[in-house]
Chains A and B, each alone.
Chain A
């Protein structure tokens, strides 16, 4: 029986690769948008504008305080109530962007706040504009603090893409879920799914560990 299921699993393996491709797309687009948004929000959060800081703080608390699956349901079910109809794929990307950028915002703000005030003052004294100070003085130094947790966050984001399966996006986890209904060999199916996630996440975990060791010295 096991052997039979195994051969069927081999037969439908291309289906899993399709899921992997979908997962990679969601992951790649999300990492990109989350990093971009996260840096903008993080810089604003470490800035001086109190109202902006407060608004971003509320947003970050909401994202950190609620489960990602609830956030997906909010995007997928509540936005249509407000007249915004999204298909599953864009809804998944939007939810990922909302969730991921909040976490990256915190990492970036923490990194910038770790840079001493004297560096800003030196930048001002050298006649640099605010943008130049950030680009040339602050962010390059903050990157040392930001990079290790950022890569760690990427691993979490990649794993979190599995949750978008709940709104029916045909990514890796959803493929496993659909398969297990037809091939009732849960251990085999989800070992395969897990192994495919491992292939993407583990190198990043190693990279994050490496960066942590290197930056610590």
Chain B
């Protein structure tokens, strides 16, 4: 019961929890950065009129979106060695998170770009701006504003998804909870602490997402 909640053991494991937390931070930050790049490229291919780019991008996005992340992680974790590629678990996990988030980010960016009204683009054409000028002065400033809140939302999803890397034995936050449970059999203390740390990250990112959303609505009002 909660009455026998053992605080001392949490303090004993605190250094390990902090290592796990750092690992979760590191994995999430690297993955979201790479996913932004992958997503931008995928989106560029997706909206291009060149079929050789467009259809592979559609296939990538749809396959990722209709299969579970855990299956994608296992696909790489068990699949790469059969191709003779040996990468450490943490890299495998980061690649999986990058590929997974990249597909969602591609759709977020695409939604941002298509949210820019056609009239805006026509006005740009009428003003004699060329394609790059239209992108730089008209489409991107508006599209980026619309993509920031959902991108922050995707970052929240990614942080939580990184917990699945514990299943391929990456020593991140959730894995620390599992380790503590198997060593001391104190699951209540272990997993409530883990949950507490995730909640802290969640509230920080959510505050940031809400703030950016408010900022955008404020800007739109003008």
Contact = CB atoms under 8 A, between A and B. Distances in A.
B195 A193 contact: no
Given A67-B160, A186-B79, A198 B166 contact: no
Of A68, A166, A186, A189, most buried by chain B (CB within 10 Å of CB) is A186
> What's the dominant secondary structure at chain A's contact region?
helix
B178 A163 contact: no
Given A73-B177, A77-B187, A65 B198 contact: yes
A15 interface: no
B71 to A, nearest CB: 5
A164 to B, nearest CB: 10
Question: Interface size bucket, A side?
Answer: 35 or more
B44 to A, nearest CB: 21
Nearest to B164: A69
Given A66-B195, A66-B202, A70-B195, A194 B67 contact: yes
B116 interface: no
B67 A77 contact: no
Interface string B75-106: 10111111100000000000000000000000
> What's the dominant secondary structure at chain B's contact region?
helix
Contacts of B77: 186
Interface stretch (B15-23, B58-66, B117-125, B137-145): B58-66
Nearest to A180: B78
B75 A187 contact: yes
Given A73-B177, A77-B181, A78-B187, A163 B164 contact: yes
B167 interface: yes
B188 interface: yes
B202 A163 contact: no
B181 A205 contact: no
B154 interface: no
A77 B181 CA distance: 9
A141 interface: no
A206 to B, nearest CB: 9
Given A65-B198, A74-B191, A197 B78 contact: no
A42 B34 CA distance: 36
A187 B69 CA distance: 15
A173 interface: yes
Contact of A190 (B79, B177, B195, B206): B79
B198 A82 contact: no
A67 B198 contact: yes
Contacts of A191: 75
A176 interface: yes
Contacts of B67: 159, 194, 197-198, 201
Question: Interface size bucket, B side?
Answer: 35 or more
Nearest to B83: A187
A120 interface: no
Interface in A161-217: 161-163, 165-166, 173, 176-177, 180, 184-187, 189-191, 193-194, 197-198, 201-202, 205
Contacts of A159: 66-69
Contact of B74 (A78, A155, A186): A186
A193 B73 CA distance: 12
Given A69-B174, A187-B82, A201-B66, A64 B202 contact: yes
A66 B199 contact: yes
B50 interface: no
B167 A166 contact: yes
B66 to A, nearest CB: 4
A59 interface: no
13 contacts: A61-B199, A64-B202, A65-B198, A67-B162, A73-B187, A159-B67, A180-B78, A186-B80, A187-B78, A191-B75, A198-B67, A201-B65, A205-B66
Given A73-B178, A162-B70, A190-B75, 8 more contacts: A61-B199, A77-B191, A155-B66, A173-B68, A187-B79, A190-B74, A190-B78, A197-B68
10 residue pairs, one from A and one from B, having the closest CB atoms: A186-B78, A65-B202, A67-B163, A77-B187, A162-B68, A186-B79, A190-B75, A187-B79, A201-B66, A159-B68
